[in-house]
Amino acid sequence: MPEIARLTGGSDCFELEFVEREATPEPAMKLGIRLHAAGLSLSDTVSVLASFGVERARSTVHNWVQKAGLQPNSGKNPNHVALDETVIQLNDQRYWLYAAVDPETNEFLHVRLFPTRTIVLTKQFVEELREKHRVETAVFLVDGAPWLKAALFELGLRFRHVTHGNRNAVERVFKELKRRTEQFANHFRHATADSAETWLQTFAFTWNQLI
């Protein structure tokens, strides 16, 4: 697969601060993190690593992802920001994955997982986005969700209700995220909200490296 080939090369785009405490070579850990974030199950990921002579348990790869703490890089200056949320099932509860995407590049700018969707949480998400990126002059592209519009209005940010066009960027990346998590049935089982959010942020980081 071309995507796997791309993941096996160029592994220097992120650092692992915990590597000195691990017996596994750093390139193998980076490959394992990338493969799992790209959509391979833990079982498939350890099988690929085994083909390179690195025998590790599924729990070990899971711990690598959690310890790496990867998320989209900061410092972007987008003209537009597509803002939306989608449902993620966590055990028997529904959570909401908030995402901000640059529609010109299809890159994730910021992602968070919340137990519900409200104006207060939307404002928190956007405030975090403002701390990471220069979005003060950007136009936010949103659907008809009232909590999105109200939060942006209260924060004094420009927004536009867009049904199609550039706002579809966030829909496309959500669709791809769900396609890549089909092996989990888009359902994180036996996971905490924090560990699920960490995986989703790692997915966003990896997505940005692949597009």
Q: Which of 176, 164, 195 is nearest to 39 (CA)?
A: 176
Q: Which of 162, 85, 140 is nearest to 117 (CA)?
A: 85
Same domain membership, residue 128 and residue 157: yes
25: three-class secondary structure by DSSP: coil
102-126: pLDDT as tens digits: 989 989 999 999 999 999 999 999 9
pTM: predicted TM-score of the whole model, two decimal places: 0.82
Same domain membership, residue 167 and residue 117: yes
Same domain membership, residue 89 and residue 41: no
Same domain membership, residue 63 and residue 88: no
- The CA distance from 63 to 42, in Å, is 11
Asked if residue 37 belongs to a domain, the reply is yes
178-206: pLDDT as tens digits: 666 554 444 466 678 898 899 889 889 98
Asked if residue 140 belongs to a domain, the reply is yes
Asked if residue 179 belongs to a domain, the reply is yes
Q: Which two tokens stand for residue 194?
A: 């924090």
Query: What letter would DSSP give residue 138?
Result: P
Asked if residue 183 belongs to a domain, the reply is yes
Please tell me the total count of domains within the chain.
2
Asked if residue 73 belongs to a domain, the reply is no
Same domain membership, residue 168 and residue 115: yes
Structural domain including 200 reads 80-210
Provide the CA 125 distance to its chain's centre, in angstroms. Answer: 14
Same domain membership, residue 84 and residue 22: no
